[in-house]
Amino acid sequence: MKKTTGKIGNVILSGSGKRLPKIFNICKTMGDIDGSLPTIIIGLQESKAILGRHFSILNKRPKNKMWWTYKNTERNYEYEEDMKDFYRHCLQNKLGKIQYRYVDFTRYKYSKMKSFIAYMRSKKNKVCFITRDRNFVFIYVPTDSIVLGLSLNLLEYCGIPKDKSLRRLKSNESNTFMKDTAFLDGTMREVIGNDTHYIPVLSYLFSTE
């Protein structure tokens, strides 16, 4: 078994199948998996062969961190539903400990506001994601395992235009701005749902693969 970086789970897949995002460690055998991550085996016969006596047609999760499902060519509906569940499990396993904090600076005391500004000006690596409507920016700080949510609308309401706020963020060379979300496949987008703060975290994981 091996250690991987920038991955959230293992997928054991022999032969061809639906294309999966690179955030998964795609393997052909058990010897290729990262044992610290959840694993799903795709294919009925492959699952029987790998799981042996632990295999059950009624239990898609027979062992700790080990799942199985049909190939999409065998039972597509079950494949789609099982993969959504696996995506959710992997995200929670990998990202569940990351804090999310909405920055309600209207409630901050002067001293706390100064600390926040200093934090944003620091040289800590930060990954920034601006929502499509330019109403919000999510800022992931990997070293602190935290995502900060900053309302650009609220800043504008307080007299700081959105463009000015973004220029200040971009003036810090330690801040990286995401260009797009093309790295997310349809299933990942569906699973993330309203948990938009996960997007800059996943972008960072992709960049470290």
pLDDT mean over 10-31? 87
Q: What is the helix (H) or strand (E) element at residue 148, kind and residue range?
A: strand 146-151
pLDDT in the model for residue 22: 86
Alpha-helical segments (H) within the chain = 44-51, 76-95, 110-121, 152-157, 162-170, 186-192, 198-207
Grouping H, G, I as helix, E, B as strand and the rest as coil, residue 24 is: strand
Those residues whose C-beta lies under 8 Å from the C-beta of residue 13, and which sit 6 or more positions away, are 20, 26, 27, 28, 42, 43
Length of the chain: 209
d(C-alpha 124, C-alpha 48), whole Å:
48
pTM of the complete model: 0.85
Q: What percent of the chain has pLDDT over 90?
A: 66
CA-closest candidate to residue 59, choices 49, 50, 47 = 47
| 108-112: average pLDDT | 86
| Residue tagged 């091996």 (tokens) | 2
Domain boundaries, the chain: 9-95, 99-207
3-state secondary structure 92-146: HHHHCCCEEEECCHHHCCHHHHHHHHHHHHCCCCEEEEECCCCCEEEEEEHHHCE
pLDDT digits (tens, 9 = 90+) for 138-162: 999 999 999 999 999 998 888 888 8
CA distances from 95 to 49, 129, 133 (A): 31, 17, 25
pLDDT bucket at 17, cuts 50 / 70 / 90 = low
Q: Do the Cβ atoms of 66 and 39 come closer than 8 Å? A: yes
Q: Identify the band that residue 2 occupies on the pLDDT scale cut at 50, 70 and 90.
A: low
Give the chain's mean pLDDT: 90
Residue with tokens 């460690």: 25
More confident residue, 85 or 110: 85
Average pLDDT over residues 170-195: 91
For residue 209, pLDDT over 60 is answered with no
Angle at CA of residue 80, ends 178 and 5, nearest 5°: 40
pLDDT of residue 3 exceeding 70: no
Query: Which of 11-15, 54-58, 120-124 is predicted least confidently?
Result: 11-15
- Residue 178: predicted pLDDT: 92
Q: What is the pLDDT of residues 66-93, one digit of tens each?
A: 999 999 999 999 999 999 999 999 999 9
